Structure 1
Protein backbone atom coordinates (compact mmCIF):
# COMPACT_ATOMS: atom_id res chain seq x y z
CA UNK A 1 0.00 0.00 0.00
CA UNK A 2 1.32 3.42 -1.01
CA UNK A 3 0.77 6.56 1.09
CA UNK A 4 1.27 10.22 0.18
CA UNK A 5 0.31 13.55 1.71
CA UNK A 6 -2.53 15.43 0.08
CA UNK A 7 -1.12 18.41 -1.85
CA UNK A 8 -2.01 22.03 -1.05
CA UNK A 9 -3.00 21.50 2.58
CA UNK A 10 -1.75 23.45 5.63
CA UNK A 11 -1.58 20.31 7.75
CA UNK A 12 -0.52 16.86 6.62
CA UNK A 13 -3.37 14.70 5.35
CA UNK A 14 -2.10 11.18 4.57
CA UNK A 15 -3.83 9.41 1.69
CA UNK A 16 -3.57 5.61 1.69
CA UNK A 17 -3.91 4.06 -1.77
CA UNK A 18 -4.83 0.58 -2.90
CA UNK A 19 -2.21 -1.39 -4.82
CA UNK A 20 -3.96 -0.84 -8.17
CA UNK A 21 -4.22 2.95 -7.88
CA UNK A 22 -1.44 5.48 -8.43
CA UNK A 23 -1.26 8.92 -6.82
CA UNK A 24 -1.45 10.65 -10.21
CA UNK A 25 -4.58 8.69 -11.14
CA UNK A 26 -6.39 9.68 -7.97
CA UNK A 27 -5.38 13.34 -8.06
CA UNK A 28 -6.51 13.67 -11.69
CA UNK A 29 -9.85 11.83 -11.21
CA UNK A 30 -12.49 14.58 -11.74
CA UNK A 31 -14.84 13.24 -9.08
CA UNK A 32 -12.05 13.24 -6.47
CA UNK A 33 -10.92 16.73 -7.45
CA UNK A 34 -14.45 18.12 -7.14
CA UNK A 35 -15.11 16.34 -3.87
CA UNK A 36 -11.89 17.33 -2.10
CA UNK A 37 -12.14 20.93 -3.29
CA UNK A 38 -15.75 21.21 -2.11
CA UNK A 39 -14.99 19.60 1.24
CA UNK A 40 -11.94 21.75 1.91
CA UNK A 41 -13.86 24.93 1.17
CA UNK A 42 -16.74 23.86 3.42
CA UNK A 43 -14.28 23.13 6.24
CA UNK A 44 -12.78 26.59 5.79
CA UNK A 45 -16.17 28.23 6.45
CA UNK A 46 -15.87 27.13 10.10
CA UNK A 47 -13.56 30.13 10.59
CA UNK A 48 -16.68 32.30 10.53
CA UNK A 49 -17.76 32.97 14.13
CA UNK A 50 -21.40 32.39 13.18
CA UNK A 51 -20.67 28.86 12.01
CA UNK A 52 -22.20 26.13 14.18
CA UNK A 53 -18.84 24.35 14.45
CA UNK A 54 -16.66 27.43 14.98
CA UNK A 55 -15.78 26.67 18.60
CA UNK A 56 -14.66 23.12 17.82
CA UNK A 57 -13.92 23.00 14.07
CA UNK A 58 -13.63 19.76 12.18
CA UNK A 59 -10.54 18.86 10.14
CA UNK A 60 -9.81 16.32 7.44
CA UNK A 61 -7.29 14.01 9.09
CA UNK A 62 -6.76 11.22 6.55
CA UNK A 63 -8.18 9.46 3.50
CA UNK A 64 -8.15 5.72 2.95
CA UNK A 65 -8.95 4.45 -0.55
CA UNK A 66 -10.77 1.15 -0.08
CA UNK A 67 -11.52 0.05 -3.64
CA UNK A 68 -11.48 1.21 -7.26
CA UNK A 69 -13.56 0.20 -10.27
CA UNK A 70 -11.99 0.83 -13.66
CA UNK A 71 -13.87 1.34 -16.93
CA UNK A 72 -12.24 -0.20 -19.98
CA UNK A 73 -9.32 -1.38 -17.91
CA UNK A 74 -7.67 2.03 -17.41
CA UNK A 75 -10.18 4.82 -16.75
CA UNK A 76 -11.38 5.23 -13.16
CA UNK A 77 -15.12 4.76 -12.87
CA UNK A 78 -15.88 4.59 -9.16
CA UNK A 79 -13.89 4.93 -5.95
CA UNK A 80 -14.90 3.88 -2.46
CA UNK A 81 -13.02 5.68 0.31
CA UNK A 82 -13.09 6.44 4.02
CA UNK A 83 -12.36 10.03 5.10
CA UNK A 84 -11.58 10.75 8.73
CA UNK A 85 -13.09 14.13 9.61
CA UNK A 86 -12.94 15.00 13.30
CA UNK A 87 -12.40 17.85 15.74
CA UNK A 88 -9.92 18.17 18.60
CA UNK A 89 -12.53 16.77 21.00
CA UNK A 90 -12.37 13.46 19.17
CA UNK A 91 -15.84 13.88 17.67
CA UNK A 92 -16.08 12.39 14.18
CA UNK A 93 -18.36 12.94 11.21
CA UNK A 94 -19.50 9.99 9.04
CA UNK A 95 -16.93 9.68 6.25
CA UNK A 96 -17.76 6.65 4.10
CA UNK A 97 -17.83 7.98 0.53
CA UNK A 98 -18.70 6.46 -2.83
CA UNK A 99 -17.20 8.71 -5.52
CA UNK A 100 -18.72 8.58 -9.00
CA UNK A 101 -18.98 12.23 -9.99
CA UNK A 102 -21.74 14.20 -11.65
CA UNK A 103 -24.50 12.99 -13.92
CA UNK A 104 -27.14 14.75 -15.99
CA UNK A 105 -30.89 14.12 -15.98
CA UNK A 106 -33.28 15.18 -18.74
CA UNK A 107 -36.95 16.06 -18.40
CA UNK A 108 -38.15 15.57 -21.98
CA UNK A 109 -41.71 16.80 -22.48
CA UNK A 110 -43.58 16.09 -25.70
CA UNK A 111 -46.93 17.55 -26.73
CA UNK A 112 -49.03 16.81 -29.85
CA UNK A 113 -48.71 19.72 -32.26
CA UNK A 114 -52.48 19.88 -32.75
CA UNK A 115 -52.96 21.00 -29.13
CA UNK A 116 -52.83 24.67 -28.18
CA UNK A 117 -49.26 25.71 -27.41
CA UNK A 118 -50.50 27.72 -24.42
CA UNK A 119 -51.94 24.64 -22.80
CA UNK A 120 -50.50 21.95 -20.54
CA UNK A 121 -52.95 19.46 -22.07
CA UNK A 122 -51.65 16.10 -23.30
CA UNK A 123 -48.05 16.78 -22.34
CA UNK A 124 -46.08 13.58 -21.91
CA UNK A 125 -42.70 12.87 -20.33
CA UNK A 126 -40.25 10.39 -21.82
CA UNK A 127 -39.20 7.83 -19.22
CA UNK A 128 -36.72 5.04 -19.73
CA UNK A 129 -37.38 1.50 -18.53
CA UNK A 130 -34.14 -0.38 -17.95
CA UNK A 131 -32.44 -2.90 -15.68
CA UNK A 132 -30.93 -1.43 -12.52
CA UNK A 133 -29.18 -4.27 -10.74
CA UNK A 134 -28.21 -2.19 -7.63
CA UNK A 135 -31.95 -1.64 -7.09
CA UNK A 136 -32.70 -5.29 -7.85
CA UNK A 137 -34.80 -4.22 -10.84
CA UNK A 138 -34.97 -5.28 -14.47
CA UNK A 139 -37.47 -2.56 -15.42
CA UNK A 140 -37.08 0.67 -13.42
CA UNK A 141 -38.90 3.76 -14.72
CA UNK A 142 -36.69 6.86 -14.58
CA UNK A 143 -35.67 10.04 -16.35
CA UNK A 144 -33.09 9.61 -19.12
CA UNK A 145 -29.75 10.23 -17.44
CA UNK A 146 -26.10 9.41 -17.64
CA UNK A 147 -22.69 10.03 -16.15
CA UNK A 148 -20.82 13.12 -17.28
CA UNK A 149 -17.93 12.43 -19.60
CA UNK A 150 -15.48 14.85 -21.17
CA UNK A 151 -18.08 16.75 -23.22
CA UNK A 152 -17.17 20.29 -22.23
CA UNK A 153 -20.46 21.45 -20.70
CA UNK A 154 -23.37 20.06 -18.71
CA UNK A 155 -25.72 20.95 -21.57
CA UNK A 156 -23.48 19.15 -24.02
CA UNK A 157 -23.48 16.09 -21.76
CA UNK A 158 -27.26 16.20 -21.50
CA UNK A 159 -27.67 16.43 -25.29
CA UNK A 160 -25.32 13.48 -25.73
CA UNK A 161 -27.21 11.36 -23.21
CA UNK A 162 -30.56 12.23 -24.80
CA UNK A 163 -29.37 10.93 -28.15
CA UNK A 164 -27.82 7.78 -26.68
CA UNK A 165 -30.83 6.85 -24.57
CA UNK A 166 -33.72 8.02 -26.75
CA UNK A 167 -32.32 8.50 -30.24
CA UNK A 168 -33.45 12.16 -30.25
CA UNK A 169 -30.99 14.75 -31.47
CA UNK A 170 -31.42 17.87 -29.35
CA UNK A 171 -29.32 21.01 -29.82
CA UNK A 172 -27.68 21.84 -26.49
CA UNK A 173 -28.82 25.46 -26.85
CA UNK A 174 -32.46 24.32 -26.61
CA UNK A 175 -31.96 22.78 -23.16
CA UNK A 176 -33.03 24.68 -20.05
CA UNK A 177 -31.10 24.01 -16.83
CA UNK A 178 -33.95 23.74 -14.32
CA UNK A 179 -31.64 23.22 -11.35
CA UNK A 180 -29.57 26.32 -12.09
CA UNK A 181 -32.73 28.38 -12.58
CA UNK A 182 -34.14 27.28 -9.24
CA UNK A 183 -30.91 27.72 -7.29
CA UNK A 184 -30.28 31.17 -8.75
CA UNK A 185 -33.42 32.44 -7.03
CA UNK A 186 -32.84 30.63 -3.74
CA UNK A 187 -31.94 32.80 -0.75
CA UNK A 188 -29.28 31.39 1.53
CA UNK A 189 -26.45 32.62 3.73
CA UNK A 190 -24.62 29.32 3.21
CA UNK A 191 -21.02 29.96 2.17
CA UNK A 192 -20.43 26.43 0.90
CA UNK A 193 -19.69 26.02 -2.81
CA UNK A 194 -21.71 22.93 -3.65
CA UNK A 195 -22.35 21.71 -7.18
CA UNK A 196 -25.40 23.04 -9.03
CA UNK A 197 -27.29 19.79 -9.01
CA UNK A 198 -29.61 17.56 -7.02
CA UNK A 199 -27.72 15.33 -4.57
CA UNK A 200 -29.46 11.95 -4.67
CA UNK A 201 -27.82 10.27 -1.68
CA UNK A 202 -25.49 12.74 0.09
CA UNK A 203 -25.14 10.48 3.11
CA UNK A 204 -22.88 8.16 1.13
CA UNK A 205 -22.35 9.35 -2.45
CA UNK A 206 -20.98 12.49 -4.11
CA UNK A 207 -23.23 12.18 -7.19
CA UNK A 208 -25.01 15.40 -8.17
CA UNK A 209 -27.48 15.71 -11.03
CA UNK A 210 -28.45 18.93 -12.79
CA UNK A 211 -31.88 18.48 -14.38
CA UNK A 212 -32.37 19.86 -17.89
CA UNK A 213 -35.68 20.53 -19.62
CA UNK A 214 -36.48 20.11 -23.30
CA UNK A 215 -40.01 20.68 -24.59
CA UNK A 216 -41.06 19.73 -28.10
CA UNK A 217 -44.31 19.79 -30.06
CA UNK A 218 -44.48 16.79 -32.38
CA UNK A 219 -47.05 14.98 -34.57
CA UNK A 220 -49.21 12.48 -32.71
CA UNK A 221 -48.03 9.65 -34.93
CA UNK A 222 -44.44 10.36 -33.96
CA UNK A 223 -45.34 10.09 -30.29
CA UNK A 224 -46.93 6.70 -30.94
CA UNK A 225 -43.74 5.50 -32.64
CA UNK A 226 -41.62 6.42 -29.62
CA UNK A 227 -43.83 4.53 -27.16
CA UNK A 228 -42.07 1.23 -26.39
CA UNK A 229 -39.08 1.95 -28.65
CA UNK A 230 -35.92 0.02 -27.85
CA UNK A 231 -32.95 2.36 -27.47
CA UNK A 232 -29.64 2.83 -25.69
CA UNK A 233 -26.13 1.71 -26.58
CA UNK A 234 -27.03 -1.94 -27.09
CA UNK A 235 -23.41 -3.00 -27.67
CA UNK A 236 -22.51 -1.43 -24.29
CA UNK A 237 -25.09 -3.51 -22.46
CA UNK A 238 -27.80 -0.84 -22.31
CA UNK A 239 -31.26 -2.38 -22.63
CA UNK A 240 -33.60 0.59 -22.66
CA UNK A 241 -37.28 0.82 -23.54
CA UNK A 242 -39.02 4.18 -23.86
CA UNK A 243 -42.25 4.98 -22.06
CA UNK A 244 -44.39 8.07 -22.64
CA UNK A 245 -46.03 9.03 -19.37
CA UNK A 246 -48.64 11.80 -19.00
CA UNK A 247 -46.99 14.77 -17.27
CA UNK A 248 -49.74 14.91 -14.67
CA UNK A 249 -49.02 11.27 -13.73
CA UNK A 250 -45.21 11.27 -13.86
CA UNK A 251 -44.78 11.88 -10.12
CA UNK A 252 -46.72 8.66 -9.54
CA UNK A 253 -45.49 6.46 -12.38
CA UNK A 254 -41.86 7.44 -11.82
CA UNK A 255 -42.09 7.86 -8.07
CA UNK A 256 -39.25 5.43 -7.32
CA UNK A 257 -36.75 7.57 -9.20
CA UNK A 258 -35.48 10.65 -7.37
CA UNK A 259 -34.61 12.30 -10.70
CA UNK A 260 -38.23 12.07 -11.82
CA UNK A 261 -39.52 13.66 -8.62
CA UNK A 262 -36.84 16.37 -8.70
CA UNK A 263 -37.52 17.18 -12.35
CA UNK A 264 -41.27 17.29 -11.83
CA UNK A 265 -40.97 19.51 -8.74
CA UNK A 266 -38.55 21.90 -10.45
CA UNK A 267 -40.77 22.12 -13.53
CA UNK A 268 -43.92 22.81 -11.54
CA UNK A 269 -42.25 25.33 -9.24
CA UNK A 270 -40.54 27.29 -12.01
CA UNK A 271 -43.67 27.21 -14.20
CA UNK A 272 -45.77 28.66 -11.39
CA UNK A 273 -43.22 31.46 -11.02
CA UNK A 274 -43.38 32.13 -14.76
CA UNK A 275 -39.71 31.33 -15.32
CA UNK A 276 -40.30 28.62 -17.94
Structure 2
Protein backbone atom coordinates (compact mmCIF):
# COMPACT_ATOMS: atom_id res chain seq x y z
CA UNK A 1 0.00 0.00 0.00
CA UNK A 2 1.07 3.61 -0.56
CA UNK A 3 -0.17 7.09 0.35
CA UNK A 4 -0.45 10.35 -1.61
CA UNK A 5 -2.21 13.71 -1.26
CA UNK A 6 -4.84 14.95 -3.68
CA UNK A 7 -3.59 18.05 -5.58
CA UNK A 8 -6.79 19.96 -4.75
CA UNK A 9 -6.98 18.72 -1.16
CA UNK A 10 -3.34 18.55 0.04
CA UNK A 11 -4.24 18.05 3.72
CA UNK A 12 -6.05 14.75 3.09
CA UNK A 13 -3.85 11.63 2.86
CA UNK A 14 -5.18 8.99 0.46
CA UNK A 15 -4.00 5.42 0.90
CA UNK A 16 -4.24 3.07 -2.07
CA UNK A 17 -3.75 -0.70 -2.32
CA UNK A 18 -1.14 -2.45 -4.43
CA UNK A 19 -2.07 -2.62 -8.10
CA UNK A 20 -3.81 0.76 -8.11
CA UNK A 21 -1.93 3.91 -9.11
CA UNK A 22 -2.36 7.53 -8.07
CA UNK A 23 -3.16 8.50 -11.66
CA UNK A 24 -5.90 5.88 -11.88
CA UNK A 25 -7.54 7.30 -8.76
CA UNK A 26 -7.24 10.92 -9.88
CA UNK A 27 -8.66 10.06 -13.31
CA UNK A 28 -11.65 8.24 -11.82
CA UNK A 29 -14.35 10.90 -12.03
CA UNK A 30 -16.66 9.39 -9.38
CA UNK A 31 -13.83 9.70 -6.83
CA UNK A 32 -12.93 13.32 -7.62
CA UNK A 33 -16.63 14.25 -7.76
CA UNK A 34 -17.36 12.56 -4.42
CA UNK A 35 -14.37 14.23 -2.75
CA UNK A 36 -15.33 17.66 -4.09
CA UNK A 37 -18.96 17.29 -3.02
CA UNK A 38 -18.05 16.05 0.46
CA UNK A 39 -15.50 18.80 1.14
CA UNK A 40 -18.00 21.39 -0.10
CA UNK A 41 -20.59 20.03 2.32
CA UNK A 42 -18.08 20.00 5.19
CA UNK A 43 -17.23 23.64 4.50
CA UNK A 44 -20.88 24.60 5.08
CA UNK A 45 -20.35 23.91 8.80
CA UNK A 46 -18.66 27.31 9.07
CA UNK A 47 -22.12 28.89 8.91
CA UNK A 48 -23.20 29.64 12.52
CA UNK A 49 -26.69 28.25 11.89
CA UNK A 50 -25.33 24.85 10.85
CA UNK A 51 -26.11 22.19 13.50
CA UNK A 52 -22.49 20.96 13.45
CA UNK A 53 -20.99 24.45 13.67
CA UNK A 54 -19.98 24.25 17.38
CA UNK A 55 -17.82 21.20 16.71
CA UNK A 56 -17.37 20.78 12.95
CA UNK A 57 -16.38 17.55 11.29
CA UNK A 58 -13.40 17.25 8.96
CA UNK A 59 -12.22 14.61 6.52
CA UNK A 60 -9.03 13.30 8.10
CA UNK A 61 -8.05 10.60 5.60
CA UNK A 62 -9.25 8.27 2.86
CA UNK A 63 -8.29 4.62 2.63
CA UNK A 64 -9.13 2.84 -0.62
CA UNK A 65 -9.67 -0.79 0.30
CA UNK A 66 -10.40 -2.45 -3.04
CA UNK A 67 -11.06 -1.73 -6.69
CA UNK A 68 -12.41 -3.26 -9.91
CA UNK A 69 -11.10 -2.47 -13.37
CA UNK A 70 -13.03 -2.20 -16.63
CA UNK A 71 -10.61 -3.61 -19.16
CA UNK A 72 -6.91 -3.58 -18.33
CA UNK A 73 -6.53 -0.22 -16.58
CA UNK A 74 -9.74 1.86 -16.33
CA UNK A 75 -11.19 1.97 -12.83
CA UNK A 76 -14.81 0.83 -12.66
CA UNK A 77 -15.56 0.65 -8.93
CA UNK A 78 -13.81 1.75 -5.73
CA UNK A 79 -14.52 0.69 -2.15
CA UNK A 80 -13.10 3.06 0.45
CA UNK A 81 -13.24 4.14 4.07
CA UNK A 82 -13.41 7.87 4.82
CA UNK A 83 -12.34 9.02 8.28
CA UNK A 84 -14.69 11.90 9.11
CA UNK A 85 -14.60 13.12 12.73
CA UNK A 86 -14.58 16.27 14.88
CA UNK A 87 -12.32 17.53 17.66
CA UNK A 88 -14.35 15.53 20.19
CA UNK A 89 -13.37 12.40 18.26
CA UNK A 90 -17.01 11.85 17.29
CA UNK A 91 -17.09 10.11 13.93
CA UNK A 92 -19.50 9.69 11.03
CA UNK A 93 -19.97 6.39 9.14
CA UNK A 94 -17.64 6.51 6.16
CA UNK A 95 -17.84 3.21 4.25
CA UNK A 96 -18.30 4.21 0.60
CA UNK A 97 -18.79 2.31 -2.64
CA UNK A 98 -18.03 4.54 -5.64
CA UNK A 99 -19.45 3.67 -9.04
CA UNK A 100 -20.67 6.99 -10.43
CA UNK A 101 -24.06 8.02 -11.83
CA UNK A 102 -26.49 6.00 -13.95
CA UNK A 103 -29.60 6.90 -15.93
CA UNK A 104 -33.04 5.27 -16.01
CA UNK A 105 -35.70 5.50 -18.69
CA UNK A 106 -39.46 5.64 -18.24
CA UNK A 107 -40.68 4.55 -21.69
CA UNK A 108 -44.43 4.91 -22.11
CA UNK A 109 -46.28 3.51 -25.11
CA UNK A 110 -49.76 4.72 -26.02
CA UNK A 111 -51.90 2.49 -28.27
CA UNK A 112 -52.69 4.36 -31.47
CA UNK A 113 -56.24 3.32 -32.35
CA UNK A 114 -56.41 4.62 -35.90
CA UNK A 115 -59.81 3.03 -36.50
CA UNK A 116 -61.44 4.97 -33.66
CA UNK A 117 -63.57 7.78 -35.09
CA UNK A 118 -64.21 9.32 -31.71
CA UNK A 119 -62.23 12.29 -30.46
CA UNK A 120 -58.85 11.30 -29.00
CA UNK A 121 -58.85 10.85 -25.23
CA UNK A 122 -57.39 13.48 -22.99
CA UNK A 123 -53.79 12.95 -21.75
CA UNK A 124 -55.13 12.20 -18.27
CA UNK A 125 -57.30 9.30 -19.45
CA UNK A 126 -55.11 7.84 -22.20
CA UNK A 127 -54.16 4.19 -21.96
CA UNK A 128 -50.43 3.92 -21.29
CA UNK A 129 -48.04 1.00 -21.06
CA UNK A 130 -44.49 1.03 -19.68
CA UNK A 131 -41.57 -1.10 -20.80
CA UNK A 132 -39.65 -2.85 -18.02
CA UNK A 133 -36.64 -5.12 -18.25
CA UNK A 134 -36.34 -8.55 -16.63
CA UNK A 135 -32.73 -9.61 -16.17
CA UNK A 136 -30.25 -11.28 -13.80
CA UNK A 137 -29.07 -9.05 -10.94
CA UNK A 138 -26.56 -11.12 -9.03
CA UNK A 139 -26.10 -8.47 -6.32
CA UNK A 140 -29.80 -8.84 -5.50
CA UNK A 141 -29.55 -12.63 -5.71
CA UNK A 142 -32.02 -12.76 -8.59
CA UNK A 143 -32.00 -14.06 -12.16
CA UNK A 144 -35.29 -12.32 -13.00
CA UNK A 145 -35.23 -8.86 -11.46
CA UNK A 146 -37.96 -6.55 -12.81
CA UNK A 147 -36.87 -2.94 -13.19
CA UNK A 148 -36.85 0.22 -15.23
CA UNK A 149 -34.29 0.15 -18.07
CA UNK A 150 -31.05 1.75 -16.87
CA UNK A 151 -27.35 2.03 -17.55
CA UNK A 152 -24.13 3.51 -16.19
CA UNK A 153 -23.06 6.93 -17.43
CA UNK A 154 -19.83 7.00 -19.42
CA UNK A 155 -16.72 8.97 -18.49
CA UNK A 156 -17.96 12.05 -20.37
CA UNK A 157 -21.01 12.25 -18.14
CA UNK A 158 -23.51 12.63 -20.99
CA UNK A 159 -26.77 11.71 -19.32
CA UNK A 160 -29.16 12.12 -22.24
CA UNK A 161 -26.77 10.38 -24.62
CA UNK A 162 -26.41 7.46 -22.25
CA UNK A 163 -30.19 7.19 -21.90
CA UNK A 164 -30.65 7.10 -25.68
CA UNK A 165 -27.89 4.49 -26.01
CA UNK A 166 -29.36 2.26 -23.29
CA UNK A 167 -32.80 2.46 -24.87
CA UNK A 168 -31.37 1.15 -28.12
CA UNK A 169 -29.37 -1.63 -26.43
CA UNK A 170 -31.97 -2.78 -23.90
CA UNK A 171 -35.23 -1.94 -25.65
CA UNK A 172 -34.23 -2.05 -29.30
CA UNK A 173 -35.66 1.46 -29.65
CA UNK A 174 -33.65 4.11 -31.48
CA UNK A 175 -34.53 7.70 -30.59
CA UNK A 176 -32.77 11.06 -30.56
CA UNK A 177 -31.65 12.78 -27.38
CA UNK A 178 -34.05 15.62 -28.16
CA UNK A 179 -36.96 13.19 -27.77
CA UNK A 180 -36.10 12.55 -24.11
CA UNK A 181 -37.56 14.49 -21.20
CA UNK A 182 -35.45 14.70 -18.04
CA UNK A 183 -38.01 14.34 -15.25
CA UNK A 184 -35.39 14.72 -12.52
CA UNK A 185 -34.18 18.00 -13.96
CA UNK A 186 -37.75 19.28 -14.19
CA UNK A 187 -38.25 18.58 -10.49
CA UNK A 188 -34.82 19.45 -9.08
CA UNK A 189 -33.89 22.24 -11.50
CA UNK A 190 -30.53 23.04 -13.05
CA UNK A 191 -28.69 21.29 -15.85
CA UNK A 192 -27.26 17.84 -16.26
CA UNK A 193 -25.00 16.42 -13.57
CA UNK A 194 -24.19 18.28 -10.40
CA UNK A 195 -25.58 21.61 -9.21
CA UNK A 196 -23.74 24.26 -7.24
CA UNK A 197 -26.80 25.50 -5.38
CA UNK A 198 -27.19 22.23 -3.48
CA UNK A 199 -23.56 21.49 -2.79
CA UNK A 200 -22.83 19.53 -5.94
CA UNK A 201 -25.37 16.79 -5.32
CA UNK A 202 -26.45 15.02 -8.49
CA UNK A 203 -29.75 15.82 -10.18
CA UNK A 204 -31.30 12.42 -9.64
CA UNK A 205 -32.50 9.90 -7.09
CA UNK A 206 -29.94 8.37 -4.70
CA UNK A 207 -31.00 4.71 -4.18
CA UNK A 208 -28.57 3.98 -1.34
CA UNK A 209 -26.90 7.17 0.02
CA UNK A 210 -25.82 5.39 3.19
CA UNK A 211 -23.18 3.46 1.27
CA UNK A 212 -23.06 4.40 -2.43
CA UNK A 213 -22.46 7.58 -4.45
CA UNK A 214 -24.70 6.52 -7.35
CA UNK A 215 -27.46 8.92 -8.37
CA UNK A 216 -29.91 8.30 -11.19
CA UNK A 217 -31.62 10.95 -13.34
CA UNK A 218 -34.96 9.66 -14.63
CA UNK A 219 -35.68 10.30 -18.31
CA UNK A 220 -39.04 9.87 -20.00
CA UNK A 221 -39.95 9.01 -23.58
CA UNK A 222 -43.51 8.72 -24.81
CA UNK A 223 -44.71 7.52 -28.19
CA UNK A 224 -47.79 6.19 -29.93
CA UNK A 225 -47.66 2.72 -31.45
CA UNK A 226 -50.16 0.37 -33.03
CA UNK A 227 -51.63 -2.34 -30.84
CA UNK A 228 -49.96 -4.92 -33.04
CA UNK A 229 -46.56 -3.32 -32.38
CA UNK A 230 -47.42 -3.11 -28.71
CA UNK A 231 -47.84 -6.90 -28.56
CA UNK A 232 -44.42 -7.40 -30.15
CA UNK A 233 -42.64 -5.80 -27.19
CA UNK A 234 -43.88 -8.33 -24.61
CA UNK A 235 -41.18 -10.94 -23.93
CA UNK A 236 -38.78 -9.54 -26.51
CA UNK A 237 -35.19 -10.61 -25.92
CA UNK A 238 -32.62 -7.80 -25.86
CA UNK A 239 -29.27 -6.79 -24.34
CA UNK A 240 -25.62 -7.07 -25.30
CA UNK A 241 -24.67 -10.72 -24.93
CA UNK A 242 -20.94 -9.89 -25.04
CA UNK A 243 -21.47 -7.77 -21.90
CA UNK A 244 -23.25 -10.55 -20.07
CA UNK A 245 -26.71 -9.04 -20.58
CA UNK A 246 -29.66 -11.45 -20.75
CA UNK A 247 -32.70 -9.21 -20.91
CA UNK A 248 -36.34 -9.80 -21.72
CA UNK A 249 -38.96 -7.08 -21.85
CA UNK A 250 -42.18 -6.82 -19.89
CA UNK A 251 -45.09 -4.57 -20.76
CA UNK A 252 -47.01 -3.14 -17.81
CA UNK A 253 -49.99 -0.80 -17.58
CA UNK A 254 -48.94 2.56 -16.15
CA UNK A 255 -51.50 2.18 -13.37
CA UNK A 256 -49.85 -1.09 -12.27
CA UNK A 257 -46.26 0.12 -12.52
CA UNK A 258 -45.86 0.99 -8.83
CA UNK A 259 -46.92 -2.54 -7.88
CA UNK A 260 -45.03 -4.57 -10.50
CA UNK A 261 -41.84 -2.57 -10.03
CA UNK A 262 -42.21 -2.25 -6.28
CA UNK A 263 -38.75 -3.69 -5.54
CA UNK A 264 -36.97 -1.30 -7.90
CA UNK A 265 -36.12 2.15 -6.54
CA UNK A 266 -35.80 3.59 -10.05
CA UNK A 267 -39.31 2.50 -10.92
CA UNK A 268 -40.86 3.97 -7.78
CA UNK A 269 -38.94 7.22 -8.28
CA UNK A 270 -40.17 7.45 -11.86
CA UNK A 271 -43.77 6.93 -10.78
CA UNK A 272 -43.47 9.64 -8.12
CA UNK A 273 -41.81 12.16 -10.46
CA UNK A 274 -44.22 11.54 -13.33
CA UNK A 275 -47.34 11.68 -11.18
CA UNK A 276 -46.16 14.81 -9.36
CA UNK A 277 -45.36 16.62 -12.61
CA UNK A 278 -48.63 15.41 -14.08
CA UNK A 279 -50.58 16.94 -11.18
CA UNK A 280 -48.89 20.24 -11.97
CA UNK A 281 -49.75 19.90 -15.67
CA UNK A 282 -46.10 19.80 -16.75
CA UNK A 283 -46.14 16.41 -18.48
TM-score, normalised via structure 1 length: 0.95
Question: Which consecutive unaligned segments of at least 5 residues does structure 2 have?
Answer: 191-196
Matches within 5 A, 1:42-121: 42-114=41-113, 116=120, 118-119=122-123, 120-121=125-126
Determine if the alignment matches structure 1 residue 165 to structure 2 residue 170.
Answer: yes
> What SS does the aligned partner of 1:216 have?
strand
Match of 1:130 in 2: 135
Q: Distance in 1 between matches of 2:174 and 2:155?
A: 19
Matches within 5 A, 1:109-258: 109-114=108-113, 116=120, 118-119=122-123, 120-150=125-155, 153-184=158-189, 191-258=198-265
Q: Distance in 1 between matches of 2:96 and 2:83?
A: 11
Ranges of 4+ aligned residues in structure 1 off by more than 6 Å: none
Q: Distance in 2 between matches of 1:180 and 1:275?
A: 12
> What SS does the aligned partner of 1:12 have?
strand
Q: Distance in 2 between matches of 1:247 and 1:56?
A: 49
> What SS does the aligned partner of 1:118 have?
coil
Q: 1:275 aligns with which of 260, 278, 282?
A: 282
Q: Is the 8 A contact 1:42 1:191 kept in 2?
A: no
Match of 2:29 in 1: 30
Match of 1:264 in 2: 271
Q: Is the 8 A contact 1:111 1:124 kept in 2?
A: yes
Query: Which deviations, in whole Å up to 9, do the C-alpha atoms of 1:206-225 show, x marking residues without a partner?
Result: 00000000001111111111
Query: Which deviations, in whole Å up to 9, do the C-alpha atoms of 1:108-131 show, x marking residues without a partner?
Result: 000111173523432001000000
Q: Is the 8 A contact 2:29 2:155 kept in 1?
A: no
Q: Distance in 2 between matches of 1:106 and 1:146?
A: 9
Which segment is superposed worse, 192-201 or 126-135?
A: 192-201
Query: Which deviations, in whole Å up to 9, do the C-alpha atoms of 1:110-156 show, x marking residues without a partner?
Result: 01111735234320010000000110101011000000014552111
RMSD, matched Cα? 1.4
Q: CA deviation at 1:200?
A: 0.4
Structure 1 pair 41/117, CA: closer, same or farther in 2 (3 Å)?
farther
Q: Distance in 1 between matches of 2:155 and 2:51?
A: 38
Match of 2:194 in 1: none
Q: CA deviation at 1:2?
A: 1.1
TM-score, normalised via structure 2 length: 0.93
Q: Is the 8 A contact 1:66 1:82 kept in 2?
A: yes
Q: Distance in 2 between matches of 1:152 and 1:131?
A: 26
Q: Is the 8 A contact 1:132 1:140 kept in 2?
A: yes
Q: Distance in 2 between matches of 1:112 and 1:235?
A: 33
